Structure 1
């Protein structure tokens, strides 16, 4: 179990492999035909559009968390991760960059880590 309660079919390292496959698929669709690929359409419209789609999915995830079923929340969370991966790629970043940042933060108090990012 990585986060929350374990699901019967989830293996601890499956998520990383899934994220790597997702990132590879997204990269392979860069420059593709926007009429044939949703990912290519997101790239074609640029990082600003990808950011707006990410925001929409984040809001839908919050709504599902507050008023939806577990299945709805899981589906919306998947949409957030997908659109985040597209947005990162549109900015020439990857999920690996995010994982490296999470690794850097591991073992550091959230309060201490957040304080290190504020310039106050």
Structure 2
């Protein structure tokens, strides 16, 4: 599944019953969605430091899913994120950090 397809699936769950859909449940509880993203991000960091590629891959997938759900719960779309990233390509990361 592509990230675009994942984002579309998450958006489609906004009107689903939270009693039957984990995604709908998280979308109805923005604070819980943020908490779950944080948990998954930490788990990905732990696996990265352990050097376990397979587990890091799984945790990274979980983190991406929960990041998109958290953003969707706050009406931030993948297109919004992509536009932000596109705007950042005009300047090198080092130059941008130095300008802060």
How does the TM-score come out when normalised to structure 2? 0.89
What's the RMSD between the two structures over aligned residues?
1.6
The equivalent position to 2:20 in structure 1, one of 30, 36, 41, is 36
Distance of 2:30 and 2:80 partners within structure 1: 17
CA offset digits 1:93-117 (Å, max 9, x no partner): 111111111111114221222345x
SS in 2 for 1:108: coil
Distance of 2:24 and 2:57 partners within structure 1: 24
Q: Does 1:110 align with 2:88?
A: no
Query: Runs of 5+ in structure 2 lacking a partner?
Result: none
Query: Runs of 5+ in structure 1 lacking a partner?
Result: 1-16
Q: Which has the higher contact order (CA 8 A, sep 6+)?
A: 2
Query: Which runs of structure 2 are paired with 1:1-120 in the superposition (5 Å)?
Result: 18-44=2-28, 46-116=29-99, 118=100
Instruction: Considering fraction of residues, name the structure with more helix.
Output: 2
How does the TM-score come out when normalised to structure 1? 0.76
Change (3 A) 1:66 1:102: same
How many aligned positions are there? 100
Quote how far apart the aligned CAs of 1:68 are: 4.8
